[in-house]
Copies of this chain bind each other. A is one copy, B any other.
Amino acid sequence: MTGKRRSPARVFAALGDATRLALVKKLSRGQPLSITQLTEGCKLSRQAITKHLRVLEGAGIVHSVREGRESRFELDPEPIVSIRKYLDHVSEQWDQVLGRLKAFVEN
């Protein structure tokens, strides 16, 4: 049942936190980073960061690969692309409304 895992709401919720957005930003550079590397510069404890990473992982935004004694996290862009399309759909519907409104005003 992966259906629920990556529901749009789940993905949005995962991105709905400044700390997590910062993690995504760091990882969007493409280089896999370890937990301690991701913790550096970020006031919070390593455990807190780990929890945030698990949330991102649960939404499918990120995945980890254990390498020796450290586990590297890497971005997984599919869910992000997915909700982008979701937003596109909403905006599109809205644009159609604007279009109709504009047409109405002009006639």
A residues contacting B by CB (< 8 A) are 7-18, 20-21, 24-25, 28-30, 75, 77, 80-81, 83-84, 87-88, 90-91, 93-94, 96-97, 100-101
Contact = CB atoms under 8 A, between A and B. Distances in A.
A12 B14 CA distance: 8
Contacts of A16: 9-16
A41 to B, nearest CB: 18
A14 to B, nearest CB: 7
A90 B24 contact: yes
Nearest to A14: B16
A91 B84 contact: yes
A97 to B, nearest CB: 3
